[in-house]
A and B are shown apart, each in its own frame.
Chain A
Amino acid sequence: MTPIELSLTVNGERRALTVPPQRLLLEMLQRDLHLTGTKEGCGVGVCGACTVLMDGRPVSACLVLAAHADGHEVTTIEGLGRDGQRHPVQAAFLEWSAFQCGYCTPGMILAATALLQEHPAPSEEEIREYMSGNICRCTGYMDIIRAIQSCTGGAKR
Chain B
Amino acid sequence: MSGEGMGMALEIVGQSVPRSDGQEKVAGQARYMDAIDLPGMLVGRVLRSTVPHGRLRRVDAEKARRVPGVVTVVTGESLRRDGRLNPYYGPALLDQPVLAIDKVLYVGDPVAAVAAVDEESALEALDLIEVEYEELPAVFEPLDAIAPGAPLLHEGELKPGGLFVDLTDVHPVPGTNICNHYVMKKGDGEAGFRHADIVIEQTFSIPETQHYPLEPHSVLAWVDPSGRIALYANTQQPFIVRAQLADIFQVPPSHIRIMVPYLGGAYGAKCYPKAEPIATVLAWFARRPVKLTFTREEVFLTITKHATVVKMKSGAMRDGTLVARKVECYLGTGAYAEIGPRVSKKMGTNGAGPYRIPHVQMDAYCIIYTNKPPAGAFRGYGLPQVTWAFEQQMDTLARELRIDPVEIRLKNLFVDGDTFWYGERLNALGLRECLLKAAAAIRWGEPSQALPGKRRGKGLAIMLKTLTHGASIAFVKVDDDGTAKVLTSTVEMGQGSDTVLAQIAAEELGLPVERVSMAHPDTDFTPFDDKTSGSRSTVAMGKAVLLAAREARERLLELAAEQLEASVHDLEVRRGQVRVRGTDRALDVAQVVRAHFRSKGGTIMGRGEFHTKLAREEFWFAAAGAAEVEVDPETGEVRVLKYVGACDVGKAINPHLCQQQVLGGAVMGLGQTFSEEMVYDHGQLLNPSLINYKLPAFRDLPAQLEVILLETPYSEGPFGAKGVGESAVPPVAAAIGNALVDAIGVRLYELPITAEKVLKALEEAGGAGPVGAGGAR
Decide if A30 is an interface residue (CB 8 Å cutoff): yes
Among B26, B27, B496, find the residue whose CB has the most chain A CB atoms closer than 10 A: B26
Query: Given A36-B35, A93-B26, A141-B701, are A44 and B664 also a contact pair (CB < 8 Å)?
Result: no
Contacts of A81 in B (CB 8 A): 27
**Contact call A103/B28, Cβ cutoff below 8 A:** no
Bits for B432-449, please: 1 = Cβ < 8 Å to A, else 0: 000000000000000000
Decide if A133 is an interface residue (CB 8 Å cutoff): yes
**Contact call B120/A20, Cβ cutoff below 8 A:** yes
Decide if B321 is an interface residue (CB 8 Å cutoff): no
**Contact call B495/A100, Cβ cutoff below 8 A:** yes
Decide if B15 is an interface residue (CB 8 Å cutoff): no
Closest to B665 in A: A140
Decide if B657 is an interface residue (CB 8 Å cutoff): yes
Decide if A131 is an interface residue (CB 8 Å cutoff): yes
Q: Tell me if B's interface is mostly helix, strand, loop or mixed.
A: loop
Decide if A33 is an interface residue (CB 8 Å cutoff): no
Closest to B35 in A: A36
**Contact call B264/A30, Cβ cutoff below 8 A:** no
Bits for A127-141, please: 1 = Cβ < 8 Å to B, else 0: 111011111011111
Closest to B668 in A: A137
Decide if A47 is an interface residue (CB 8 Å cutoff): yes
Closest to B666 in A: A140
**Contact call A141/B265, Cβ cutoff below 8 A:** no
Query: Given A39-B264, A97-B656, are A141 and B22 also a contact pair (CB < 8 Å)?
Result: no
In the complex, the number of residue pairs spanning A and B with C-beta atoms less than 8 Å apart equals: 156
**Contact call A101/B493, Cβ cutoff below 8 A:** yes
**Contact call B262/A43, Cβ cutoff below 8 A:** no
Q: Which of A52-82 contact B (CB under 8 A)?
A: 76-78, 81
Q: Tell me if A's interface is mostly helix, strand, loop or mixed.
A: loop
Bits for B670-694, please: 1 = Cβ < 8 Å to A, else 0: 0000000000000000000111000
**Contact call A86/B695, Cβ cutoff below 8 A:** no
**Contact call A101/B698, Cβ cutoff below 8 A:** no
**Contact call B699/A138, Cβ cutoff below 8 A:** no
CA distance A105 to B32 in the complex (A): 13
CA distance A94 to B499 in the complex (A): 13
CA distance A101 to B497 in the complex (A): 11
Decide if B215 is an interface residue (CB 8 Å cutoff): yes
CA distance A36 to B660 in the complex (A): 26
CA distance A60 to B23 in the complex (A): 24
Bits for A83-95, please: 1 = Cβ < 8 Å to B, else 0: 0001000110111
Contacts of B667 in A (CB 8 A): 140-141
Q: Given A100-B660, A138-B660, 20 more contacts at CB 8 Å? A: A39-B32, A39-B264, A42-B296, A46-B691, A47-B214, A76-B28, A90-B26, A97-B16, A97-B657, A99-B26, A101-B265, A104-B214, A127-B698, A129-B698, A129-B699, A135-B697, A137-B212, A138-B494, A140-B667, A143-B660
- In the A-B complex, the 8 residue pairs with the smallest Cβ-Cβ separation, listed nearest first, are A37-B28, A140-B663, A101-B494, A103-B264, A77-B28, A100-B494, A102-B25, A46-B690
